[in-house]
């Protein structure tokens, strides 16, 4: 790991954008991979309002890898913080203190614990106020920064630090995409680092719009999901190929799927790569739970195909 002195010196290098250099993040983090790609496009004319979570570890006072601005908030408060930042920037523009070309994009950065649960009330209020911001959620399907307890984003059947029964987590993942779309915001999209072209196109589209915009990134987590970090991209691709993670967007009142698998792989091709699902295969195969997971995916894509 780099020292903070090394980290600080990296900030002074002439590259346009630097993110994550020398930071104590887990190898193979799918959330960090997505954030890298997003930051390469969004650049330094941004203010990241970072809710408490894994990505908070990127910035250790007084250092930060963001070459733009960065603000820390409590887990439930990031959209409220974004409102204050956006209002302040607008006031500065009205007063002539900054020019229009010097304005900054306000981006909320949260994990699924905040996005799906603790912060959803503040988020709903911000959307209702038509706040001009981008909400970026890295969804690692658990409270990853505190030991990977289950969250409202945890999928059915996985084992977490707080769901260790023989069949894993009994609940089902909340549909945050639909919750956002029900508010009729400017834009909602699912993304994943393993599909960089799809991601880049959606970042460009989100950047061209104003108002509330959600970018929801599935974030394969080697520590919480129990897999070798070298498999992160493969697992991301399998999430798309099996239909577990539909790539889609909501814009102009319509939901459009941006990548539909021509022939979906069985969901087991995704599950068997992750230790959090080992109990469904060993020492005995849990056919019932595996079929439940497959049936829900099949039902989703049947509706997409025939609706």
Cβ-count burial 7-22 (b if 16+ within 10 Å, e if not): beeeeeeeeeebbbeb
Tell me: the pLDDT tens digits for 244-289? 999 999 999 999 999 999 999 999 999 999 999 999 999 999 999 9
Give percent of the chain above pLDDT 90: 84
Domains of the chain and any CATH numbers: 4-306 (3.40.50.970)
Q: What is the pLDDT of residue 106?
A: 98
Cα distance from N-terminal residue to C-terminal residue, the chain: 51
| % of the chain exceeding 70 in pLDDT | 92
Q: CB burial class (10 A; 0-12, 13-18, 19+) of residue 69?
A: middle
- pTM (predicted TM-score): 0.91
Ramachandran angles phi, psi of 240, nearest 5°: -80, -45
pLDDT tens column, 76-95: 999 999 999 999 999 999 99
Angstrom distances, CA of residue 53 to CA of 111, 235, 298: 6, 22, 33
Cβ–Cβ under 8 Å, residues 73 and 50: yes
DSSP state of 106: E
Q: Are 2 and 25 in contact (CB under 8 A)?
A: no
Q: What's the pLDDT tens digit per position in 80-135?
A: 999 999 999 999 999 999 999 999 999 999 999 999 999 999 999 999 999 999 99
Query: Using the 8-state DSSP alphabet, how is residue 137 labeled?
Result: E
Q: What is the dihedral of CA 250, 255, 261, 266, to 10 degrees?
A: 100
Decide: helix, strand or coil at residue 66. coil
Does residue 32 have a cis peptide bond before it, meaning omega lies within 30 degrees of 0? no
């Amino acid at each position: 790991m780099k020292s903070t002195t090394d980290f600080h010196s990296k900030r002074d290098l002439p590259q346009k954008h630097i993110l994550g250099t020398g930071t104590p993040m887990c190898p193979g983090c799918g959330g960090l991979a997505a954030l890298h790609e997003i930051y390469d496009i969004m650049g330094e004319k941004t203010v990241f309002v970072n809710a408490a979570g894994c990505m908070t570890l990127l910035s250790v006072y007084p250092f930060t890898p963001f070459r733009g601005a960065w603000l820390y908030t409590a887990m439930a408060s990031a959209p409220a913080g974004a409102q204050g930042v956006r209002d302040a920037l607008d006031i500065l523009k009205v007063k002539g203190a900054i020019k229009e070309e010097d304005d900054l994009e306000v981006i909320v950065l949260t994990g699924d614990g905040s996005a799906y649960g603790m912060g959803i009330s503040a988020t709903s209020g911000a959307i209702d106020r038509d706040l001009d911001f981008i909400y970026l959620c890295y969804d690692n399907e658990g409270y990853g920064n505190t030991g990977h307890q289950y969250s409202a984003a945890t999928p059915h059947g996985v084992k977490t630090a707080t769901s260790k029964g023989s069949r894993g987590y009994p609940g089902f993942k909340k549909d945050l995409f639909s919750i956002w779309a029900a508010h009729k915001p400017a834009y909602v999209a699912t993304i994943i680092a393993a599909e960089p072209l799809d991601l880049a196109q959606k970042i460009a589209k989100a950047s061209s719009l104003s108002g509330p915009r959600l970018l929801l990134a599935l974030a394969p987590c080697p520590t919480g999901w129990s897999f070798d970090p070298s498999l992160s991209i493969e697992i991301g691709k399998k999430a798309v190929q099996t239909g577990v993670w539909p790539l889609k967007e909501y814009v102009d009142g319509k939901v459009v799927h941006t990548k539909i698998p021509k022939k979906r792989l069985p969901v087991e091709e995704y599950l068997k790569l992750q230790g959090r699902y080992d109990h469904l295969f060993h020492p005995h195969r849990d056919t019932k739970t595996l079929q439940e997971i497959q049936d829900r995916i099949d039902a989703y894509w049947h509706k997409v195909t025939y609706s």
